[in-house]
Amino acid sequence: MILPVRALATTASVAAAALLLSGCNFRGAASLPLPGGVGSNGYKVKVEFADALDLVPQSAVKVNDVTVGQVKSIEVGPKFKSALGVDTFTALVTVAVKRDVKLPENVDVRLRQTSLLGEKFVSFEQPAIPEGTLRDGAYIHYNPARTTANADIEQVLGALSLVLNGGSLEQLNTINTELTKALKGRESQVRDFLTQLTGFVTGLDAQKGQISNALDGLDRLSGKLAAERTTLDVALRDLPQGAQVLADERAQLTKVLQALSNLGTVATRVIQGTQQNTIADLRALQPILSQLAAAGKDLPNALELLTTYPFPRTVALPNGKGGIRGDYANLFVTLDGNPATLLNNLLGTLPLPVPLPVPKVGTKVAPKAPTLPSVPGLTDKGGLLDTPTGLSHLLLGGLS
């Protein structure tokens, strides 16, 4: 059998390619370089993910949706503890990025999809505050805040199947049915309630400043109570004993309160009964108080005379400036033995029975003092009654 020349050439090419691939350790189509790839000019970065999903080698690496590299390999990474507390393994993804692409050292890495059913790719995203520079051989450990994966269509459909197949959908139907029954015939009340609730929420929003201040004050009060914890502990420990004492004296306290109530009733009756008299007494007392106020300093100065009576205040001043220049004084007394003279002088020293004048409203006439009554049996010898009378005449009358 003679084969065509073209068939022989094709067979030889396939055989040669097979021999070449077997000699170069061919690892499938994924090992073939793609046009426009990074090649050996990029720098490699290893990233740990909780799950690589269906990410495959040669997938794109993008920054702001612009391809800057490709995925080189995917392998099993170190262990980590999942959210359920189970030890599991990470997915270690090695990517190659072009040399001219500068990324911060704290860059965020996420697994995304080009579309709802599109392919997966690795996305480098700028952090809020960039730090450092990502270099060749960098290793980004698994961190839920930095290395995450977006939800794919499989996860969304799986969650939807749980809802539709005996999940929460039937419960929502039950809730809707029961809520309809509860609100049937009460639409106006519910509408009014919602209107009032809207006003209440609006009032709360208007008072949010005061509410915040109240909460701050409550925080300060809590701090003070915490600082006085020891004192409060002692008070709470002794409070039952004090309450027991009050309970034991309840009968006596009740009697005291009843007696106080009776006293209040009597005092009210007395005040009401003496109201007019009290007002009259206060009005009558007003002129006396007015005259005392007008007297001013004269009354205290007059009272000071009692300490030196019958001598003036200047009789004994300090430093020898008074009328008496020492601690003693000479006093000469002459007594007249005539009874008439003694009696006349004594009557002159006695205070006259002058009644206190009672001023009348609207009059300026001062009352007159009564005259001194005559003493029977007294004779005026030598004009003694015409001479000055008083204590000075009694003490010094015989000196003339």
Name every residue whose Cβ is closer than 8 Å to that of residue 153 and which is 6 or more positions away in sequence. Answer: 116, 117
Mean pLDDT of 257-276: 91
For residues 140 and 215, state if they share a domain. no
**Residue 320 or 270, more confident:** 270
Comparing 46-60, 118-132, 260-274, 383-397, the range with the smallest average pLDDT is 383-397
pLDDT by residue (tens digit) across 64-94? Answer: 989 999 999 999 988 877 766 778 888 999 9
Tell me which of 152, 184, 212 is where a domain ends. 152
Burial of 50 from C-beta contacts in 10 A (0-12 / 13-18 / 19+):
buried
Give the pLDDT band (50/70/90) at residue 363. very low
What's the pTM value of the predicted model, to 2 decimals? Answer: 0.37
Mean pLDDT of 288-304: 81
Which tokens belong to 160?
């939807």
> Taking Cα atoms as reference points, which of 203, 231, 358 lies closest to residue 287?
358
Q: Establish if 163 belongs to a structural domain.
A: no
pLDDT at 315: 67
Tell me which of 132, 152, 172 is where a domain ends. 152
pLDDT at 298: 78
**Is 286's pLDDT higher than 80?**
yes
Q: Establish if 148 belongs to a structural domain.
A: yes
Give alpha helix (H) positions in 336-389.
339-349
For residues 221 and 147, state if they share a domain. no
Q: Establish if 190 belongs to a structural domain.
A: no
Structural domain containing residue 343: 331-350+379-400
pLDDT by residue (tens digit) across 137-172? Answer: 999 998 888 888 777 777 777 777 766 666 566 677
pLDDT at 397: 44
Name every residue whose Cβ is closer than 8 Å to that of residue 239 and which is 6 or more positions away in sequence. Answer: none
Q: Establish if 57 belongs to a structural domain.
A: yes
| Residues constituting the chain | 400
For residues 205 and 115, state if they share a domain. no
DSSP per-residue string spanning 92-118: EEEEEE-TT----TT-EEEEEESSTTS
Q: Establish if 85 belongs to a structural domain.
A: yes
Give the pLDDT band (50/70/90) at residue 215. very high
- How many domains, the chain? 3
Q: Establish if 63 belongs to a structural domain.
A: yes
> Taking Cα atoms as reference points, which of 84, 122, 87, 103 lies closest to residue 43?
103
Find out whether 43 and 96 touch, Cβ atoms under 8 Å.
yes
Find out whether 71 and 34 touch, Cβ atoms under 8 Å.
no
**Is 369's pLDDT higher than 50?**
no
**Residue 374 or 215, more confident:** 215
pLDDT at 149: 79
Question: How far apart (Å, rounded) are the C-alpha atoms in residues 348 and 368?
Answer: 19
For residues 226 and 119, state if they share a domain. no
